[in-house]
Amino acid sequence: MSARLLLLEDDPAIARTVAYALQRDGLAVTHSLLVHDARQQLQGARFDLLVLDVGLPDGSGLDLLRELRNAAPTATLPVLMLSAHGEEIDRVLGLELGADDYLAKPFSPRELAARVKALLRRAGHGGSNGNGNRNRNGQSAAVAPLFHDDEAGQRISLRGQSLPLTRREYRLLSHLLRGAGRIHSREALLAAAWGDDSESTDRTVDTHIKTLRAKLRELDPAHEYISTHRGMGYCVDVQ
Ligand code: CA
């Protein structure tokens, strides 16, 4: 089954090149020129990944990203941001808001396609080659064989063994894994796993991280996969 991708980009030439490169790789690409249209697309269908431009005629890609991260169905949607060259502030903001990767324009369509495929694999989408344990450089990636995130079934396995996770724990770990190696603030984790449930607090995140760690330890006592960064948040290390 080919992955479904939504491309939100108002520059027709860039959109055409990107869509061509991705379709050639077997991905189904839906293109939106406006934030308004993309929002409707996301409400109407399930997508596996969003390629998101920052500057759009009817709004900012960053605002849309914030909105998506705070809504349960799209809180963990992999997002690759595109932005004008040298807009450092967009890059920092984009990653802070929970973008999974970032490319500055101008970029090569091949680079974009490689990054898209890497994100899809990280999200548990095998892609056309069905091989989940190689990263875009062709090296063996630690993340795939260690953890497998089956998004459709909402299950994560560690070294081939299924983890008995609650729904919240699943969302929490899935979000951490998609941003493996990055520190996630408690606020970002709350938004990803709890959406707009206002009953939840930072303490809720800490409690769930604790049970997650216990479950991971049960399957693999030799490793501590989730690290705490004082005052900043949590990070999953898969190296
Ligand atoms: Ca633009």
Please tell me the distance from the alpha carbon of residue 55 to that of residue 145, in angstroms, as a whole number: 37
DSSP structure class, residue 40: H
How far apart are the CA of 52 and the centre of ligand 1, in A?
A: 9
How far apart are the CA of 223 and the centre of ligand 1, in A?
A: 44
What are the pLDDT digits (tens) for 115-133?
999 899 888 875 444 333 3
* Mean model confidence pLDDT for the chain: 83
How far apart are the CA of 85 and the centre of ligand 1, in A?
A: 11
In the structure, what pLDDT confidence band is assigned to residue 64 with cuts at 50, 70 and 90? very high
Q: What is the pLDDT of residue 220?
A: 82
Segments in 1-108 forming alpha helices (H): 12-24, 35-44, 61-69, 88-96
Report which of residues 137 and 12 the model is more confident about: 12
Segments in the chain forming alpha helices (H): 12-24, 35-44, 61-69, 88-96, 109-122, 143-146, 167-178, 186-194, 202-219
Q: What is the CATH class of 136-236?
A: mainly alpha
Q: Per the confidence metrics, is the pTM higher than 0.95?
A: no
**Cis preceding linkage at 164, omega within 30:** no
- Report residue 77 as tokens: 């949607």
What are the pLDDT digits (tens) for 159-190?
778 899 998 899 999 999 988 888 899 988 99
Backbone φ, ψ for residue 207 (5° rounding):
-60, -45
Report which of residues 138 and 125 the model is more confident about: 125
Please tell me the distance from the alpha carbon of residue 98 to that of residue 1, in angstroms, as a whole number: 27
Please tell me the distance from the alpha carbon of residue 42 to that of residue 38, in angstroms, as a whole number: 6
CB 235 within 8 A of CB 184: yes
Q: What is the arithmetic mean of pLDDT over 21-40?
A: 92
How far apart are the CA of 202 and the centre of ligand 1, in A?
A: 36
| Terminal-residue alpha carbon distance, the chain | 30
Residues with CB under 5 A from ligand 1 (ion): 10, 53, 55
Per CATH, domain 4-132 is 3.40.50.2000: no
User: Where in the chain are the domains?
Assistant: 4-132, 136-236
What are the pLDDT digits (tens) for 194-225?
886 667 787 889 999 999 999 998 888 878 88
- Report residue 216 as tokens: 């991971």
CB 6 within 8 A of CB 38: yes
Q: Report the relative pairing of strands 101-104 and 49-53 from DSSP bridges.
A: unpaired
CB 38 within 8 A of CB 44: no
